[in-house]
Chain A
Amino acid sequence: MSSSTSFATPKFEVKSHALLRSTATKIAVENLDFFYGKTQALRDISIEIPERQVMAFIGPSGCGKTTFLRTLNRMNDVIPGTRVEGNVTIDGADIYATGADVVELRRKVGMVFQKSNPFPKSIFDNVAYGLKINRVTSSRSELEGRVEEALKDAALWSEVKDRLKTSALGLSGGQQQRLCIARALAIRPEVILMDEPASALDPIATSKIEELIFDLKKQYTIVIVTHNMQQAARVSDLTAFFLLGKLIEVNSTEKMFTAPNQKLTEDYITGRFG
């Protein structure tokens, strides 16, 4: 867009976070560089993600949001030829330290992927998988309770309660995405990374997920990637803006959407590019 007339700043409904509750830092990232082989995808990122708040990552497609999210639970480790430089600490512990327990880390830092990826198992078994893997409980009734709870949290229970034993692949795209959310919630991680969790959802399911996020932040630290500015404004306390692998600005969501510090941020948010 090259119009020179200045746009009226779109009206975002920003939840009032009047005073950012000052909370402890959950995740601290310092000077993080990330490489896919020879191409650098993240450049010198430093950010602090506070406990029990929702942080939204925004930025144009390909700017590195997913890549960054995946460095936080070391999911990029499974991609051959990748390299991380810099520091990521969660609760003060360096997650990339030699000898750090990746499995333990991933139990603590749950993830909902950009593309939904239910297992070719029954709906019940999908949600129960993490519980079984982590031997959360040996009692069948407790397992069922946890599955039900997770499905309710993910706003899926009423749609699937009569078909828990049927294949998860028989669900619609949006239902599959909510199933993946339920799967991640079931093991009650401390941090939840959500990569565009609502991209395949209708407005009703989306608002349910947003309510869920609002509830979850009482207990969990949440990082959510979204392309939807209104959504970022609605659900998040803090927003981080990425561009071409760099972190341009982190700010309270309110500030970000009304008076950002950076010109680039303003241009992006007002839809002048991206």
Chain B
Amino acid sequence: MTSLTALCTLVAVGILVLILSYIAMRGVSALNFRFLIDTPRPIGEGGGIGNAIVGSGMLLLLSCAVGIPVGIACGIYLSEFGGGWFVSAVRFLIDRLTGIPSIVTGVFVYAVIVLRMKHFSAFAGGIALALIMIPIVARTTEEMIKLVPHSLREGALALGAPQWRVTIGVVLPAAASGIATGAMLAIARVSGETAPLLFTAFGSRFFPRNLNEPIASLTVQIYNYAISPYDEWHAQAWAATLVLMALILSINILVRFLTRQKFR
């Protein structure tokens, strides 16, 4: 039994290591400092993904700014103030929302925001990503809050704390690391998304100037370069993939660091 599980673990980890090292191998050749800070250029002139890195960062910030607070609020509502058919209905909807293919979210935002504003924008892209984050954050928050022992709430209530202060001051901190893990999952999930950005953020060859215009992102840039017929762009796509992976990894580490539990 032990050896079987160990074997499976080994296979899984092995495949992961294989993928990572393959990406590193293919990506490292086109990688250099200029590549990281330059904007895309015509074939033969080099160029880079600086604008895509900044764009991805902005899209991610935007989606976190909307998705995480809304998701956490939703999760708190589901777990603390819930009960009854309404909450069950919301929970059901959120679960269905988690399963919706991200391209559908993209099309939805396209129809609701892009068509109405009559142009692609970073704003629309951020909203699309936020919509993907919300159900993930909401459900993990709900589950993590439910894990907080009831006796803790009672302890706080018995000291004369009103319900909302118990939630904010005792329950949320006790569930913080779990909620952060959920948020991190959501961030990792959306930072790899391409489909919902194709017809919302669209892409751009320039550094972003404001949120009301199309914006570049690593994933869309990788997609565009990967389907191009040029070897140079293929190499750049690999390098961009390597950068994307490194960024996701550092976000993970950063969040872990920020939410490391002081009191366990």
Contacts and interface: CB of A to CB of B under 8 A. Distances in A.
A50 interface: no
Name the prevailing secondary structure of the B interface residues: helix
A111 B153 CA distance: 13
B263 A168 contact: yes
B162 interface: yes
A109 to B, nearest CB: 8
B159 A183 contact: yes
B160 A133 contact: yes
Contacts of B264: 120, 167, 169
A134 B150 CA distance: 22
Contacts of A78: 150, 153-154, 157
Contact of B262 (A115, A118, A167): A167
Contact of A103 (B162, B262, B263): B162
B155 A120 contact: no
B20 interface: no
A121 interface: yes
A43 interface: no
Contacts of B162: 103
B262 A187 contact: no
Interface string B155-179: 1111111100100011001100000
B158 A113 contact: yes
A67 to B, nearest CB: 14
A239 interface: no
B151 interface: yes
Interface in A86-144: 103-104, 106-107, 110-111, 113, 115, 117-122, 129-130, 133-134
B149 interface: yes
Given A129-B169, A167-B263, A169-B263, A117 B154 contact: yes
B155 A106 contact: no
B158 A111 contact: yes
Contact of A106 (B152, B153, B159): B159
Interface residues of A, number: 29
Interface residues of B, number: 23
A106 B158 contact: yes
B72 to A, nearest CB: 18
Contacts of A187: 159-160
Contacts of A119: 152, 155-156, 170, 174
A194 to B, nearest CB: 12
Given A117-B149, A121-B173, A121-B263, A133 B161 contact: yes
Nearest to A170: B263
A103 B169 contact: no
A169 B174 CA distance: 12
Nearest to A73: B158
A117 B157 contact: no
Interface in A165-198: 167-169, 180, 183-184, 187
Nearest to A133: B161
Contact of B158 (A80, A110, A115, A118): A110
A75 interface: yes
A107 to B, nearest CB: 3
A104 B153 CA distance: 17
A122 B151 CA distance: 17
A168 to B, nearest CB: 7
A117 B152 contact: yes
A115 B165 CA distance: 22
Contacts of A117: 149, 151-152, 154-155
A258 to B, nearest CB: 35
Given A120-B264, A169-B264, 13 more contacts: A75-B158, A103-B161, A115-B151, A119-B155, A119-B174, A122-B263, A129-B161, A129-B170, A130-B161, A133-B159, A168-B263, A183-B155, A184-B159
12 contacts: A106-B157, A117-B149, A118-B155, A119-B156, A120-B152, A129-B156, A129-B161, A130-B160, A133-B159, A134-B159, A169-B264, A180-B155
Ranked nearest first, the 7 interchain pairs of A and B with the lowest CB-CB distance are A107-B160, A130-B159, A167-B263, A117-B151, A111-B158, A117-B155, A120-B263
